Structure 1
């Protein structure tokens, strides 16, 4: 680190065979961590188990083609941003909407919007993190709205906080943008990423009944997409440092805040694992020669072939920190199941016309975010299961 010395689909597509050993072992560790936390947290119980099976691995299983999906229509949901509204912005295929996640040895309960509202009456759910959190927040609103379309609602879009309220049930769903979790301050015209300070952001989180955090993607950004000018750690400012070291410092700051401020008898805490991207076709082609350059044109999940992606460094950081926390945090491990969904990204079918995506689809499609309806609905089905079953 260089210091400036300045102070201050119909086929069940299995994802559990022929997977890279690193992914399997890492996923095992994360599920083990999740089960450990379940043991310690009285809020958690098992999802619906199949007969003659005694163990459910929520995050290992298969994608099954299911014509009863999607769970809602994008045209009927009032909050989907153009970034995620693939059908509205010209996506010609729809098979990607017809997949249901089938965990090993158990079935997920189908999301029920009215039940969600009844169980969450008078409470606030808040997603904190980057735009993948916004992706999930909008999905949860759409899922709930589809089950209760006549309920009075109110939406307030803002920065960093946006809220959607189901007024008849006094249920609030919020999204707070904090891509690094920790604070960013302005000092002398510079944006200072304060790796050991979370006091400003956390003020907005204290009254939430359910908190779901995520971070990861922004830590690797450089140049014009970098969200800071200098980092502050240990009282000094740095032009740059090892990004995973910086991320770990920030996540540990978050962990200290959770351990010091969260009463688990009143507040549930989730951490959503790293959401994978699909820019490198070698990760799903098994080494086969392909003309594919990214997620553009992909129309089905990864088949049962070699998947060579390594487990993200960002999740190694999060897993290490969660293991040391006193507060039980439910790790919503969506990484591996999402990695199979190369078909589920907006690609060129978003409302972003400024980057010339449609004129150059192999150049700069969006292979980071996810279409709505789509994959984040499964994230929320898992979230719903963890909350109530």
Structure 2
């Protein structure tokens, strides 16, 4: 009788454990968000953060541009005369979960004493300035120190010991001045020495790979011992990104450093992509509805995913391309303060990069 009773109690206990485990699993599936760990694996939870739609949200924007000391003129659309404000009032709604609202105080507490670096081109600058403004709005009276030197800018929130860096290097790989001229070296990342010792790295590259003529900052491309006057830019991007992938595997200790790739930020110069062939981003006042972009993904997206699938270390892709493609209304167009014509590449602040940082925050609190 005693043995039978013991068996029954043991069986009931195991059933209770299984039920509790299943309940926790269900709760986790509802609560957490899937930032893809791209090594040919499935997403880490049931909700895709990057599939959804834009909805009007009266609580937006997350900060006022006039109250943020970190915004460059090229992104400060309200200051430089943009007449409409509706573009400021959209939030991203994933299909099957809610995006947590950004909490700057929580962010600073989690990253107390840590160093965060954005590495890449002016889209990295766009995202870095956005995060600096979002945090500043949460702790407006906290002491913040800003430093600019050559390729490296930083903002330190002194009360928490958190420093946000941005390191400008549009190709990730090096450009070196040699006897023949300026050489884009697809196999070299000497600049990577400056990226070591960070607690969080967010990389980005693509836009400058398409530049030609006077805006192209190199004269030759080298790939190992081979030197080219030019080459297919998508192929060059793949080779350069593969060098970066090797750098991540050789130089990043993922027990100490988290690594993200910012994703390919789209442009809106060609209205035919959203079935308005005579238009560009200028004068666009609202996002595209729905969750798909008629023009499809830029070819660089496939290159990024191919490269990320080869990395041994975990690198998380902020897959912001499609949700950003829907925001044809969110560029500075003619309202950037640098007088550079119509800008359909970068993004107004406040604006779309705030959502990129919200997605980054969601990934980090998983």
Give me the TM-score of the superposition, normalised by structure 2: 0.87
Work out whether residues 296 and 347 of structure 1, in 8 Å CA contact, stay in contact via their aligned partners in 2: yes
Kindly provide the CA deviation profile for residues 159-211 of structure 1, in whole angstroms up to 9, marking residues without a partner as x.
2111110011110000001100011111127111110000x210110011000
Work out whether residues 183 and 201 of structure 1, in 8 Å CA contact, stay in contact via their aligned partners in 2: yes
Counterpart of 1:130 in structure 2 is 121
Name the CA distance, whole Å, in 2 between partners of 1:382 and 1:105.
Answer: 15
Work out whether residues 212 and 272 of structure 1, in 8 Å CA contact, stay in contact via their aligned partners in 2: yes
Kindly provide the CA deviation profile for residues 255-302 of structure 1, in whole angstroms up to 9, marking residues without a partner as x.
0010011111100000011100001111112xx6x6x42100000001
Counterpart of 1:299 in structure 2 is 285
Q: Unpaired segments of 5 or more residues in structure 2?
A: 1-34
Kindly provide the CA deviation profile for residues 44-85 of structure 1, in whole angstroms up to 9, marking residues without a partner as x.
xx6xxxxxxxx2110000101001000000000001000000
Work out whether residues 284 and 306 of structure 1, in 8 Å CA contact, stay in contact via their aligned partners in 2: no
Counterpart of 1:254 in 2: which secondary structure? helix
Counterpart of 1:233 in structure 2 is 223
Counterpart of 1:382 in 2: which secondary structure? helix
Cα deviation, residue 311, structure 1: 1.5
Name the CA distance, whole Å, in 1 between partners of 2:228 and 2:67.
Answer: 48
Counterpart of 1:312 in structure 2 is 298
Kindly provide the CA deviation profile for residues 76-124 of structure 1, in whole angstroms up to 9, marking residues without a partner as x.
0001000000000000000000000001110111101111111000101
Work out whether residues 344 and 371 of structure 1, in 8 Å CA contact, stay in contact via their aligned partners in 2: yes
The 5-angstrom pairing of residues 44-63 of structure 1 reads 55-63=46-54
Name the CA distance, whole Å, in 1 between partners of 2:153 and 2:38.
Answer: 32
Counterpart of 1:27 in structure 2 is none
Work out whether residues 36 and 316 of structure 2, in 8 Å CA contact, stay in contact via their aligned partners in 1: no
Select the structure that is richer in helix.
Answer: 2
Counterpart of 1:324 in 2: which secondary structure? coil
Relative contact order, higher structure (CA 8 A, sep 6+): 1
Counterpart of 2:266 in structure 1 is 276
2:98 to 82, 101, 107: 107
Work out whether residues 53 and 291 of structure 2, in 8 Å CA contact, stay in contact via their aligned partners in 1: no
Counterpart of 1:257 in structure 2 is 247
Name the CA distance, whole Å, in 1 between partners of 2:293 and 2:126.
Answer: 25
Aligned length: 332
Counterpart of 2:22 in structure 1 is none
In the alignment, structure 1 residue 196 sits paired with structure 2 residue 198: no
Over alpha carbons, which structure has the higher Rg? 2
Distance 1:123 1:219, change over 3 A: same
Counterpart of 1:179 in structure 2 is 170
